[in-house]
Amino acid sequence: MYTRSLTAILLTTGTALAAPATVAARQAADITCPIVFDGRIPTGTELTYFDTYATNQIYNPDYVKGNDIKWSEILKFPTGEAARFDGTDHVPVEVTLSDKSIFQKQNGFRRAGLQFLKDAADGPGTTGVKTLHWSVKQDAARPLNLTHEYLNVWHEAADYSSNQIQFQAGQIIGKSAADKNNFKILDRSGKSLYSVAIDKTQWQNFAVKLDYPKNQVQIYYSVGQAALKSVAGPTSVNIAGGGQFQLGLLKKPTGSNDVVNSGYQSKNLNEGQIYGGVFLEDSADGCVSL
Ligand SMILES: *[C@@H]1O[C@H](CO)[C@@H](O)[C@H](O)[C@H]1NC(C)=O
């Protein structure tokens, strides 16, 4: 239904155009390019859907999360306005962190990251021209602690040596705290490609176009239900090295030179970030859904 405009639906059903404003606002924006990985959650999905391969056709049920916690305990379905590309057919999902968010033996991190089920280190997410879309919203009841460095969305190289592109929040370790309240999109060396203040109440919509043959990145952004606009690039960025996307929260510790394995994390963690409108589209021929 997301491919049909509200006007078209109203005309075919013969309904008067005096539809309530809320219906128009919740209608999903058109996705105009072929979807490569669809991370949107259909309305009516149960949380237990995410726990097993038998049910979960969207994300990898085994990675990347605490050893002793299930996705149905990590994820929540918040109420509130749908994200721009979700509309009425899809719902937002909140990724949360707790003291149980320790993956394997990575005692320094607290993490919960969603990986597209069909993504692979040498798969279609690593070739051609692809655009990753995501929307984020903050949960006032589970705020992030911006004294810490967070990785929120990234593409990790196949050899795990770096993240070609990283969407981050909080104080980046070793850098100035001046932009800790900003979302930052960085390249693998930590160079800033785009930065914008974290909005405490509204959806923030991002898209990153990855042109693998040209090694170029272009960034699109909007707030609320507004159409995306190009805000940075195309810029030369080394995005070679294959790998996979991940979306969620990876909270680094403070006071450590070995952030994977050690450092300070406060106890009784209860943090979360809401995601919506997650998908990867094929941007061959320059197509980007706005
Ligand atoms: C935020 O993190 C810092 C550093 O770990 C910690 O000292 C502080 O208590 C945390 N604040 C909250 C509200 O948890």
Measured from CB, residues less than 6 Å from any atom of ligand 1 are 145, 147-148, 254, 264, 266
Domains of the chain: 6-286 (2.60.120.1160)
How much of the chain, in percent, has pLDDT values that exceed 90?
90
Above 90 in pLDDT, residue 11?
no
C-alpha angle 261-167-155 in degrees, rounded to nearest 5? 75
Above 70 in pLDDT, residue 249?
yes
CA of 145 to the centre of ligand 1 (A): 6
Q: What is the mean pLDDT of the chain?
A: 92
Residues 33, 133, 217, 223, CA torsion sign? positive
Q: Please state, in angstroms and as integers, the Cα–Cα distance from residue 82 to each residue in 75, 137, 194, following that order.
A: 17, 10, 25
Residue 60, pLDDT score: 97
Q: Whose CA is nearest to atom 6 of ligand 1?
A: 266
Strands (E), 171-283: 182-187, 192-197, 204-211, 216-223, 229-236, 244-251, 271-282
Q: How confident is the model over 189-204, as pLDDT tens digits?
A: 999 999 999 999 999 9
- pTM across the whole model: 0.91
How many Å apart are CA 157 and CA 147, to the nearest integer?
27
- Label residue 262 exposed, middle or buried (CB < 10 Å: 0-12, 13-18, 19+): middle
How many Å apart are CA 37 and CA 132, to the nearest integer?
9
Q: Whose CA is nearest to atom 10 of ligand 1?
A: 145
How much of the chain, in percent, has pLDDT values that exceed 70?
91
- Ligand 1 atom nearest residue 254's Cα: 5
Helix%, strand%, coil% for the chain, nearest 5: 10, 35, 55
Residue 26, pLDDT score: 67
Phi, then psi, of 285 in degrees rounded to 5: 65, 15
Q: How confident is the model over 20-58, as pLDDT tens digits?
A: 334 444 689 999 999 999 999 999 999 999 999 999 999
CA 35 to chain centre: 16
| R_g of the chain, CA atoms, integer Å | 19
CA of 147 to the centre of ligand 1 (A): 7
Q: Is 73 helix (H, G, I), strand (E, B) or coil?
A: helix
- Ligand 1 atom nearest residue 143's Cα: 13
Q: Please state, in angstroms and as integers, the Cα–Cα distance from residue 83 to each residue in 25, 218, 226, following that order.
A: 10, 21, 10
- Ligand 1 atom nearest residue 253's Cα: 5
Cis peptide before 20 (omega within 30 of 0): no
How many Å apart are CA 129 and CA 214, to the nearest integer?
9
Of 94, 87, 75, 105, residue with least CA distance to 28: 87
Q: Are 130 and 119 in contact (CB under 8 A)?
A: no
How many Å apart are CA 56 and CA 115, to the nearest integer?
12
CA of 97 to the centre of ligand 1 (A): 14
- Ligand 1 atom nearest residue 266's Cα: 5
Q: Whose CA is nearest to atom 2 of ligand 1?
A: 147
